[in-house]
Amino acid sequence: MEEDEGTEEQERFSHRQRLKAAVHYTVGCLCEDVASDKEVQFSKQTIAAISELTFRQCEHFAKDLEMFARHAKRSTINTEDVKLLARRSNSLLKYITEKNEELTQFNIEQRAKKKKKLEDDKTKSLAPAEAAASGRDSLALSPGAEAAFGEGRQEQADSPERRMKLSAFILSF
């Protein structure tokens, strides 16, 4: 029993260590960018201190976020909770709100793109489906039709007009 607890503790500890190491790496990269930008150097202790600091702040952030979500009777943390977290300094709140708006804008654009892509795909899948159906009905395809169908299959990726022409051609039989 105690052994299990011991190994569990150890696992949790090494999990923590791995996360800390990941944070340290990211912090190091970010500090390097700042250093080259401002033409100063960061001592190793400073980077270690900043990453330890970030790690501890995450604990505070996490607890606060959970409390906010629970207060709103939700189990999923959303952007409003994050905005509440950033309330302490005005400029930070403004920045985070701006980012949030950029994000929602981006999401809307992504959804519009996906919808467009789905519609495009639908028209693309309709054309060869029709061709296949009419192909099954008339067993003996004339050489012209076969050639057109073969060609259409080869260049399926990027010629919707070709496919439209192809389906029109086959439907004419």
Partner 1 sequence: MEATGGGFRKELVSKLLQMHFTDSKTKVSGDALRLMAELLTIFVVAEAAIRSVRQAQAEDLALVDVDQLEKVLPQLLLDF
The binding site for partner 1 (CB under 8 A) comprises: 15-16, 19, 22-23, 26-27, 29-35, 38, 40-43, 45-46, 49-50, 53-55, 57-59, 61-63, 65-66, 69-70, 75-79, 81-83, 85-86, 88-89, 92, 95-96, 99-100, 102-104, 106-107
Q: Are 131 and 149 in contact (CB under 8 A)?
A: yes
Nearer to partner 1, 49 or 171 (CB): 49
Here the tokens at position 33 are 């960018």
Phi/psi class of residue 89: alpha, beta or left (left: φ > 0; alpha: ψ in -120 to 50)? beta
CB count in 10 Å sphere of residue 41:
10
Minimum separation from the CB atom of position 114 to partner 1 (A): 15
3-class DSSP state for residue 150? helix
Q: Are 97 and 80 in contact (CB under 8 A)?
A: no
Minimum separation from the CB atom of position 77 to partner 1 (A): 5
Minimum separation from the CB atom of position 10 to partner 1 (A): 16
Nearer to partner 1, 26 or 125 (CB): 26
